[in-house]
Amino acid sequence: MGELIVKAEKLTKVYKLSAEEIAAVNNVDLEISSGEFVSIMGPSGSGKTTLLDMVGCLDSITSGQLEILGNDVSKMKESRLVNIRRRKIGFIFQDFSLIPSLTALENIQLTLYFAGIQKKPKESIRLLEKVSLAHRVNHLPKQLSGGEKQRVAIARALATEPKFLLADEPTGHLDIENSQEILSIFKQLNEEGLTIIMATHNQKLGLQAKRIIYLVDGRIVENNK
Amino acid sequence: MNIISIAYKNLKRKKIRSVLTIGGVAIAVAVLVSLMGFDRGYQESLTGNIDKMGYQLLITAKGCPYEAATMMLKGGGGLRYMEKDIYDKIRGDTRIDKVTPQLVSTVYDPDRLDGQGGFVMYMGIIKSYLELKPWVKFKSGQWFTSETAEEVIMGYEAAEVEQRLVGDKIFVPNVNKVLTVIGIFERSGTQDDGIVFLPLKTAQQIFSLPDKLTGVGIKLKNIQEIGSFEEDLYNEPGIQIISMAQVRGTILNLISSAKVMTNSVAVIAIFIAVIGVVNTILMSIFERTREIGVMKAIGASAMDIFRLVWMETILVCSLGGILGSILALSGSGLVEHIIKMVLPYAPSGQLVLIKPGLLFVAFIGAIILGIIAGIYPAWRAASMRPVEAIRTGE
Q: Which of B98, B183, B198 is nearest to B141 (CA)?
A: B183
> Does one domain contain both B90 and B143?
yes
Domain range holding B218? 63-237
User: B298 and A86: CB-CB below 8 Å?
Assistant: yes
Rounded Cα distance between B26 and B318, Å, is: 9
> Does one domain contain both B82 and B34?
no
Residues of B in contact with A82 (CB under 8 A): 296, 299-302
pLDDT at B78: 57
Closest CA–CA distance from residue A87 to any residue of chain B (Å): 8
A165 dihedral zone (left: phi>0; alpha: psi -120 to 50; beta): beta
- Split chain B (394 residues) into runs of 10 and give each run's mean pLDDT: 87 90 92 85 79 80 67 60 86 88 86 76 91 88 92 92 90 88 89 90 91 89 82 82 79 77 85 91 91 91 94 94 92 81 69 86 91 94 87 67
In a domain, A114, yes or no: yes
CATH classification at residue A151: 3.40.50.300
- Could you say which of B299, B385, B390 has the minimum Cβ distance to residue A114? B299
Residues of A in contact with B302 (CB under 8 A): 78-79, 82
In a domain, B247, yes or no: no
> Does one domain contain both B387 and B274?
yes
B163-170: list long-range contacts, CB under 8 Å, 24+ apart.
B165/B140, B166/B140, B166/B141, B170/B196
Return the H-helix or E-strand segment holding B226.
helix B226-233
In a domain, B52, yes or no: no
Closest CA–CA distance from residue A155 to any residue of chain B (Å): 12
Confidence band of A224 (pLDDT split at 50, 70, 90): confident
User: B1 and A109: CB-CB below 8 Å?
Assistant: yes
Spell out the residues 6+ positions from residue B292 whose beta carbon is closer than 8 angstroms to its own.
B285, B300, B305, B381, B384, B389
Asked if A146 contacts A174 with a C-beta cutoff of 8 angstroms, the reply is yes
Closest CA–CA distance from residue B9 to any residue of chain A (Å): 6
pLDDT at B278: 93
Asked if A59 contacts B387 with a C-beta cutoff of 8 angstroms, the reply is yes
In a domain, A3, yes or no: no
User: B298 and A156: CB-CB below 8 Å?
Assistant: yes
In a domain, B33, yes or no: yes
In a domain, A7, yes or no: no
What is chain A's alpha carbon radius of gyration, rounded to the nearest angstrom?
17
Closest CA–CA distance from residue A173 to any residue of chain B (Å): 13
What's the DSSP call for residue A157?
H
Rounded Cα distance between A152 and A148, Å, is: 6
Write out the E strands in chain B.
57-61, 82-83, 96-109, 118-125, 138-141, 151-154, 169-172, 177-185, 195-199, 212-213, 215-220, 239-243
pLDDT in tens, A162-211: 999 999 999 988 888 889 999 999 999 999 999 999 999 888 888 889 99
Mean pLDDT of all residues in chain A? 91
Of the three residues B185, B205, B237, the one that is the final residue of a domain is B237
User: B6 and A85: CB-CB below 8 Å?
Assistant: no
Return the H-helix or E-strand segment holding A27.
strand A20-33
Buried b / exposed e along A96-109 (16+ C-beta atoms within 10 A): bbbbebbbbbbbbb
Confidence band of A52 (pLDDT split at 50, 70, 90): very high
Q: Which of B52, B25, B376, B90 is nearest to B230 (CA)?
A: B90
Of the three residues B181, B205, B237, the one that is the final residue of a domain is B237
User: B6 and A102: CB-CB below 8 Å?
Assistant: yes
In a domain, B51, yes or no: no
- Could you say which of A85, A95, A100 has the minimum Cβ distance to residue B297? A85
Of the three residues B182, B210, B237, the one that is the final residue of a domain is B237
In a domain, B57, yes or no: no
In a domain, A23, yes or no: no
pLDDT at B264: 87
> Does one domain contain both B89 and B139?
yes
Confidence band of A110 (pLDDT split at 50, 70, 90): very high
Residues of B in contact with A87 (CB under 8 A): 299
- Could you say which of A79, A86, A99 has the minimum Cβ distance to residue B299? A86
pLDDT at A195: 95
Torsion of CA B110, B111, B116, B118, to 10 degrees: -60
Domain range holding A193? 37-59+82-224
Spell out the residues 6+ positions from residue B118 whose beta carbon is closer than 8 angstroms to its own.
B108, B109, B112
User: Considering only alpha carbons, which residue of chain A is nearest residue B7?
Assistant: A101
Total number of domains in chain B? 2
User: B291 and A59: CB-CB below 8 Å?
Assistant: no
Return the H-helix or E-strand segment holding A65.
strand A63-68
Give the number of other CB atoms < 10 A from CB of residue A137.
Answer: 17
Give the number of other CB atoms < 10 A from CB of residue B179.
Answer: 19
Q: Which of A218, A221, B286, A195 is nearest to A210 (CA)?
A: A195
Judged on CB neighbours under 10 Å (0-12, 13-18, 19+), A69 is middle
> Does one domain contain both B67 and B208?
yes
Rounded Cα distance between B71 and A144, Å, is: 76
- Could you say which of B1, B299, B387 has the minimum Cβ distance to residue A82? B299
Q: What are the residues of chain A with a beta carbon less than 8 Å away from any beta carbon of chain B?
A: 53, 56, 58-59, 78-79, 82, 85-87, 91, 93, 95, 97, 99-102, 106, 109-115, 156-157, 160
Residues of A in contact with B385 (CB under 8 A): 78
pLDDT at B355: 85
Total number of domains in chain A? 1
> Does one domain contain both B190 and B81?
yes
Q: Which of B203, B278, B255, B215 is nearest to B58 (CA)?
A: B215
Sign of the torsion formed by the C-alpha atoms of B190, B196, B202 and B208: negative
Q: Are strands B195-199 and B151-154 parallel, antiparallel or unpaired?
A: antiparallel
In a domain, B250, yes or no: no
- Could you say which of A59, A99, A110 has the minimum Cβ distance to residue B387? A59
- Could you say which of B291, B298, B302 has the minimum Cβ distance to residue A78? B302
Classify B121 as helix, strand or coil: strand
The pLDDT of residue A160 is above 60: yes
In a domain, B164, yes or no: yes
User: Considering only alpha carbons, which residue of chain A is nearest residue B14?
Assistant: A101
Judged on CB neighbours under 10 Å (0-12, 13-18, 19+), B361 is middle
Asked if B328 contacts B29 with a C-beta cutoff of 8 angstroms, the reply is yes
In the beta sheet, which residues pair with residue B239?
A: B61
Rounded Cα distance between B19 and B315, Å, is: 12
> Does one domain contain both B128 and B164?
yes
Rounded Cα distance between B62 and B83, Å, is: 12
Q: Which of A225, A224, A183, A223 is nearest to A202 (CA)?
A: A183
What is chain B's alpha carbon radius of gyration, rounded to the nearest angstrom?
31
In the beta sheet, which residues pair with residue B208?
A: none
Q: What are the residues of chain B with a beta carbon less than 8 Å away from any beta carbon of chain A?
A: 1-2, 6, 9-10, 12-13, 290-291, 294-302, 304, 385-387, 390, 394
Rounded Cα distance between B385 and A158, Å, is: 24
In the beta sheet, which residues pair with residue B154?
A: B184, B196
User: Considering only alpha carbons, which residue of chain A is nearest residue B305?
Assistant: A114
Helices (H), chain A: 48-55, 78-88, 104-115, 121-130, 146-158, 176-191, 203-206
Rounded Cα distance between A139 and A144, Å, is: 7
pLDDT at B326: 93
Closest CA–CA distance from residue A142 to any residue of chain B (Å): 12
Rounded Cα distance between A158 and B120, Å, is: 84
| ipTM of model | 0.90
Q: Please report, for residues B150, B234, B313, B368, B374, the alpha-carbon distance to residue B274 in angstroms, rounded to integers and kept in the order given.
A: 65, 56, 10, 11, 9
Give the 3-state DSSP-derived string for B168-213, with helices as H, strands as E and coil as C: CEEEECCCCEEEEEEEEECCCCCHHHHEEEEEHHHHHHHCCCCCEE
Average of pLDDT values for A4-31?
90
User: Considering only alpha carbons, which residue of chain B is nearest residue A57?
Assistant: B297
In a domain, B243, yes or no: no
User: Considering only alpha carbons, which residue of chain B is nearest residue A90?
Assistant: B298
User: A82 and B296: CB-CB below 8 Å?
Assistant: yes
